[in-house]
Amino acid sequence: MSKIDLVKAVTELEEDLVIAGVNEQAAAGVPAIEILAQLQAGMEGVGKLYEAGDYYLSELIMSAEVFANAAALLGSALADSGESKTIGTVILGTVKDDIHDIGKNIVSTILSCNGFKVVDVGVDAPIETFVEAVKTHKPDVVGMFCLLTTAFDVMKETVAAVKATGIKTTVLVGGGPVDENVATWCSADGYCKNAYDAVEMSKKASGAVA
């Protein structure tokens, strides 16, 4: 039995303890997928603290790094175990004329730790890039980001182009200046205030929760 409470260590952002706990359990023969489940539970704890206002953006960024570093230790073991089951596919990207990526990267990591396959089309992504990704991957969700109000027009055009493919997908938008009004104006299906909104809305879109 592990001497380190991995869930608690992740929630409290104790990276050294998290790494030690992962290594300890792996050495003891605990299946990689069980270790990953503990990391995910810890991230859920971070999410609750963030929603409650006890954690801020800096802690959210740190939690994503802690999770990513710990999960990296399990990479080959997870692949060997054949645990590739995902609850849905999400395409993420920052729209053309905007190169901000911190929010996108946080959402990408947190969606990944909640069981989603994430296809990241990057920053300053042209409309055609989103459209091609949708046609190729037929995702449950397309998430678009921007931090510049000057990118609102291209975000609206990108939403329209994705919907014009005729492929059934839920389009979510987010980013600093984005709000419900912008989402409505863009004809998006939803607005995500933070990464945990993105997780909950993506779960609903993929049918993982009612």
Task: Say which CATH number the domain at 51 has.
Answer: 1.10.1240.10
- Tens digit of pLDDT for each residue in 11-65? 999 999 999 999 999 999 998 878 888 887 898 888 889 878 999 888 888 888 8
- The tokens for 74 are 């399990």
Q: In the predicted model, is pLDDT for residue 110 greater than 90?
A: no
Check whether 81 has a pLDDT greater than 60. no
Q: 23 and 92 in one domain?
A: no
**Which residues form the domain of 17?**
6-80
Domain-embedded: residue 47: yes
- Asked which of 80, 97, 125 is the last residue of a domain, the reply is 80
Average pLDDT value over all residues in the chain: 89
Number of domains in the chain: 2
Final residue of a structural domain among 62, 80, 98: 80
| CATH number, domain containing residue 169 | 3.40.50.280
- Domain match, 162 and 198 both: yes
23 CB burial (10 A radius; 0-12, 13-18, 19+):
middle
Q: What is the pLDDT of residues 124-182, one digit of tens each?
A: 999 999 999 999 999 999 999 998 999 999 999 999 999 999 999 999 999 889 999 99
pLDDT given at position 187: 98
Asked, for residue 120, whether it belongs to a domain, the answer is: yes
Question: Tell me, what's the pLDDT at 93?
Answer: 98
What is the rounded radius of gyration, in angstroms, for the C-alpha atoms of the chain? 18
Lowest mean pLDDT among 9-13, 77-81, 86-90, 177-181: 77-81
> Among the three residues 48, 80, 112, which one is the final residue of a domain in this structure?
80
Q: Shortest CA distance to 198 belongs to which of 125, 105, 71, 63? A: 105
**What pTM did the predictor assign?**
0.71
